[in-house]
Structure 1
Amino acid sequence: MSLTDQATQPRAGEALDAQAVDAWLKAHLPDLHGTPTIRQFPGGASNLTYLLSYPERDLVLRRPPFGHKARSAHDMAREFHILNHLNAGFAYCPKAYLHCADPAVIGSEFYVMQRVEGIILRADLPQAAGLDAAGSRTLCEHFIERLVELHQVDYRACGLADLGKPQGYVQRQIEGWASRYEAALTADAPRWEAVITWLREHQPADHPHPAIIHNDYRLDNVILDPQQPTRIIGVLDWEMATVGDPLMDLGNSLAYWIEADDPAPIQQMRRQPSNAPGMLSRRQFVAHYAERSGLRLDNVDFYHVYGLFRLAGIIQQIYYRYFHGQTKDLRFAAFIDMNRLLERMTLKVIARSPL
């Protein structure tokens, strides 16, 4: 298996009906020939991603997870719409080809898109990528610069003016994640009451320059050029993209950014190589974003706290499915421990914040 091909056999309970997928695709893409091999990419704690390999062409299929789903999540039509339009202003979006709204085909709606072949990072830098400390720093800077570039896209010109409502965005996110967290509570989960109260008391006014925000921008959601691994050639997982406060997007990325000096329990949560030699610290991350975007970041602690709480909400929604036996994916058993750790991390940010 090459550095750019990490797809494996589908996880237990997550296999697709290859015959049904093939028949539907050939009815809409008559240039397809042969029988596809279907494998699954190892990410996908939320929407699931599959590699469909035909003899002459690779495609990627995205579908919602099996089991309980949050009411407003996993909208395949919306994600398909975003890719189709945003590609005109942000060249790192894969091209989306087809959307299937008929759940009878594979048990849910899905869409099919272009495969952008490259390196997708996981928890640690692969040695074969050849990135030393200087290369890691360059990659990190490029990663931040692509986020700034996204936030500067003219979303109206791309036909995405109706994607979100920037007015009242911050308040809606706080209240929305508080409600979603409450709906996904299990008996063993922390309640996050002190954090929710702090967010409500410190929320800023609407940002004067709303932007397209990715809402899940991490190193393992970008694709690197195999020939030049510091160069980003694609950005994946647009299911939560919207129009809103760009600093909320920054806060989400900071929540994932575990640096080398973080304690061992936090390191165990890491799913991207943000701790590698040469990678920027969270403070340096914020400084580089501020320099390239020209935005003021006086209250970055609010956005960091929000990002950590939102991440806990996502984790708890996934753990809820595991807790109630709606998924057999053993990766999710430890999500309750991650949730508890995130609450402790968040309370420490609040305790040292000057806000």
Structure 2
Amino acid sequence: MTDVGELVDEAALATFCREALGGAPDAALGVERHGEGFSNETLLVEWDDRALVLRRPPAGDHAEGAHDVLREARVVDAVSGEVPVPEIAATCDDTDVIGSPFVLMERLDGDVLRAEEPDRFATAAHRRAVGERLVETLADVHAVDYEAIGLEAGTFGYPDGYLERQVENFTEQLEWLLPTTEQDREVPHLREVGDWLAENLPEESDHTLVHGDYKLDNLMFESGTPPTVAGVLDWELSTLGDPLADLGWMLVFWREPHDPDPGLPGRFLPRFMEHEDYPTRTELVARYEDRTGRAFTDERFYRGLAAYKIATTAEAMYYRYREGDADDPLYPALEEGVPELARRAKRIVDGEEPL
């Protein structure tokens, strides 16, 4: 497991906090690694009387442009007041401080629903409300006037051709991964799914701000009831593009009682929403359409694209594990888990796993 000392020079961070945030003369720093998530590193920071979150890229080499926490901070700061997000406390682009750029943001109080639901939400009304808040908040993200908040096309994102680029980029990544990872086992169908997606690109619905990783465990719910969204988290993949891609991604992570076993731990694909009290995917789509006036057409494409991206991303995680560059205990399960994700992607595009 990556040690805090590999991610943060605590003495240098304390100096930065004193200069950027102020505090009492005897202010003390505390840092703890937060073990959830699969991309950027998240650390819990205590400085003086403030509870903060530090976001930085993972240790080691990574692709140019990936894990851009300063870009993520720009988005979070821009959308503040439009959708609930943490407040940015400070940013640092000087890699001499802790070894990478980083962002400090105020820590929200509440719960992220990962492997299980909080006891306080375990009623029919609250379970339904969780699903409703999830899809309503996505509609709010897509309603943001991105140009008005300084996220202009051409500088923040390139919305035209978004879907085509998504298919091409993930196909290129997959073709780079599979010659190595398939030495261990075959990953069925993914090349077929990529070909189907490329041949069935729909006309993009319209262009909005897209979150890029919108799912239940990237929301934090406030303490107490009824379920209320405290903040939308993890904007690392946000850009401008087709909003229905966000909806398709959210739906692939939302399970129902009849769904096949995902073959992966609940931390990767939570299953508690299989309870009959939670809304169905069809009900979530209807609420989104009603809220936005946008029809979820070509749903096989959008859900298939999401499943394809998930399988490819998981295969990249498996590649890192195979190469000895990842120590997350989830990763060994991806040896069998990714082939199951690939089978699901094929079922979706073939129409064998309906909405």
TM-score past 0.5 threshold:
yes
1:84-127 Cα deviation digits (max 9, x unpaired): 2121432x121212222222222222111111111111111122
Q: Contact (CA 8 Å) 2:136, 2:291: kept in 1 or not? A: yes
Question: What amino acid is the match of 1:341?
Answer: E
Q: Which amino acid aligns with 1:303?
A: Y
Q: Which moved more, 1:161-170 or 1:182-191?
A: 182-191
- 3-state SS of 1:170 partner: helix
Task: Assess if the C-alpha contact under 8 Å between 1:101 and 1:110 holds in 2.
Answer: yes
Q: 1-side partners of 2:236 and 2:70: how far apart?
A: 10
C-alpha deviations, 1:19-54, integer Å up to 9, x for none?
A: 222122212222265222212223121111111023
Deviation by residue 1:220-248 (Cα, 9 ceiling, x = unmatched): 11111102251111110000011100001
Aligned to 1:221: 218
Q: Which residue of 2 aligns with 1:19?
A: 11
- Name the aligned partner's letter for residue 135 of structure 1: H
Residue 167 of structure 1 corresponds to 160
- Shift of the alpha carbon at 1:80? 1.4
Structure 1 segment 1-355 matched on structure 2, within 5 A: 11-15=1-5, 16-31=8-23, 33-90=26-83, 92-127=84-119, 129-161=120-152, 162-185=155-178, 186=181, 187-188=183-184, 190=187, 192-207=190-205, 209-266=206-263, 268-269=265-266, 270-271=269-270, 273-352=272-351
Q: Distance in 2 between matches of 1:232 and 1:276?
A: 21
Number of aligned residue pairs: give it: 341
Which letter does structure 1 place at the counterpart of 2:199?
E
Alpha-carbon distance between aligned partners in 1 of 2:66 and 2:80, rounded to the nearest angstrom = 22
RMSD: 2.0
Task: Report deviation, 1:131.
Answer: 2.8
What is the DSSP-based 3-state SS (H/G/I as helix, E as strand, rest coil) of the residue aligned with 1:330? coil
Per the alignment, in what secondary structure is the counterpart of residue 113 of structure 1?
A: strand
Is the alpha carbon distance of 1:272 and 1:47 closer, same or farther for their aligned partners in structure 2, counting shifts above 3 Å? farther
For normalisation by structure 2, the TM-score amounts to 0.90
Q: Which runs of 5+ in 1 are unaligned?
A: 1-10
SS of residue matched to 1:233: strand
SS of the counterpart of 1:166? coil
Question: Identity of paired residues, percent?
Answer: 33
Moved more, 232-241 or 107-116: 107-116
How far apart, CA to CA, are the structure 2 residues paired with 1:126 and 1:227? 10
Deviations 1:299-344 (A, max 9, x none): 1110000000111122122222211111222222212322111110
CA distance in 2: counterparts of 1:222 and 1:272, whole angstroms: 16
Give the match's secondary structure for 2:228. Answer: strand
**Conserved? CA contact 2:265–2:330, under 8 Å:** no
How much does 1:267 deviate? Answer: 6.8
